[in-house]
Amino acid sequence: MIIAIDGPAASGKGTLAKKLAAHLGLPHLDTGLLYRATARALLDADGRLDDARAAVAAARGLALTDFDEARLRGRAMGEAASVVAAIPAVRETLAAAQRSFALRPEGAVLDGRDIGTVICPEADVKIFVTASPQTRAQRRALELAGRGEPADYAAILEDIRVRDERDSSRAVAPLRAAPDAHALDTTALDVEAAFRAALRFLPAAG
């Protein structure tokens, strides 16, 4: 079974994807990490985020398995990832790895922005996770504070607005719900309640 989970930054899609994957015994791919790792590699090589050729080379050079999440999760890398993610050739380069992950015999759970629309339009279950920008900014602030990073709520809310706008308005594979996606608004839901709500979207045996 392939489960595609999409949604904007800090909507709760990653946490939900992890929980569903553990529940179903399926492998999970957080596709945002691919874009973050591409941006990180580019910056580490003193490249510019809008240099398409260098960005594609960075994407091609990624080792899919060992991401140093501590270096990728921060606020700046989310923003940088959103910039390289708007380069069509970067998306194309990363698409093949995402598709082959999804086509594992046992199935997979993938989360991102374009999983249900572009990467796995054939997914068995699609969930589009949203939450208000204010709730998402609060969650991100708590998460950053928990890691000892500066967590200025107003700056985070502004980041989220900018990222939503860039991710939704880019020409290729913009953030969008697939027509057959189940909508899940987590604004008023905690992790457990969002998980229980998502379980209702699974086929009966799940």
- Tell me which residues touch ligand DC (CB under 6 A): 9, 31-32, 35-36, 78, 81-82, 85, 112-114, 163, 167
As measured in angstroms, the least distance from the Cβ of 111 to ligand DC is 7
Query: Of 49 and 189, which CB lies nearer to ligand DC in the complex structure?
Result: 49
Query: Of 41 and 114, which CB lies nearer to ligand DC in the complex structure?
Result: 114
Task: Tell me how far apart the alpha carbons of residues 53 and 43 are, in angstroms, rounded to a whole number.
Answer: 14
Q: Is 133 helix (H, G, I), strand (E, B) or coil?
A: helix
As measured in angstroms, the least distance from the Cβ of 205 to ligand DC is 28
Task: Write phi, then psi, for 5 (nearest 5 degrees).
Answer: -120, 120
Evaluated on CA atoms 128, 132, 137, 140, the torsion sign reads negative
Tell me which residue of 3, 23, 15, 10 sits closest to 191, measured CA to CA.
Answer: 15
Query: Of 12 and 32, which CB lies nearer to ligand DC in the complex structure?
Result: 32
As measured in angstroms, the least distance from the Cβ of 53 to ligand DC is 19
What is the distance between the terminal CA atoms of the chain, rounded to a whole angstrom? 10
- Report yes or no: 113 and 167 within 8 Å, Cβ to Cβ: yes
As measured in angstroms, the least distance from the Cβ of 9 to ligand DC is 4
As measured in angstroms, the least distance from the Cβ of 100 to ligand DC is 15
Task: Write phi, then psi, for 104 (nearest 5 degrees).
Answer: -60, 145
Query: Of 9 and 198, which CB lies nearer to ligand DC in the complex structure?
Result: 9
Query: Of 24 and 120, which CB lies nearer to ligand DC in the complex structure?
Result: 120
Query: Of 34 and 198, which CB lies nearer to ligand DC in the complex structure?
Result: 34
Widest CA span in the chain: 51
As measured in angstroms, the least distance from the Cβ of 7 to ligand DC is 8
Tell me which residue of 77, 55, 79, 73 sits closest to 165, measured CA to CA.
Answer: 79
